[in-house]
Amino acid sequence: MLSMTNMKHCHPFLIYLCFLCASLLHSLYLIYTKKHDDPSNLLLKVLLTNLISNVLICTLLLWLCSMNYKYTAWIAVCVTALYVFFHVNMTILL
Spatial separation of the C-alpha atoms in residues 88 and 85, rounded to whole Å: 5
Spatial separation of the C-alpha atoms in residues 44 and 50, rounded to whole Å: 10
In the predicted model, residues of the chain with pLDDT beneath 50 are 1
What pLDDT is stored for residue 94 in this prediction?
53
**Whole-model pTM above 0.75?**
no
Q: Which residue, 74, 78, 56, 54, is CA-closest to 65?
A: 74
Spatial separation of the C-alpha atoms in residues 60 and 73, rounded to whole Å: 8
pLDDT tens digit sequence for 34-61:
655 555 666 677 777 877 888 888 888 8
What pLDDT is stored for residue 52 in this prediction?
86
Rg (CA), the chain: 15
Spatial separation of the C-alpha atoms in residues 29 and 77, rounded to whole Å: 23
Q: Are 78 and 51 in contact (CB under 8 A)?
A: no
What pLDDT is stored for residue 75 in this prediction?
92
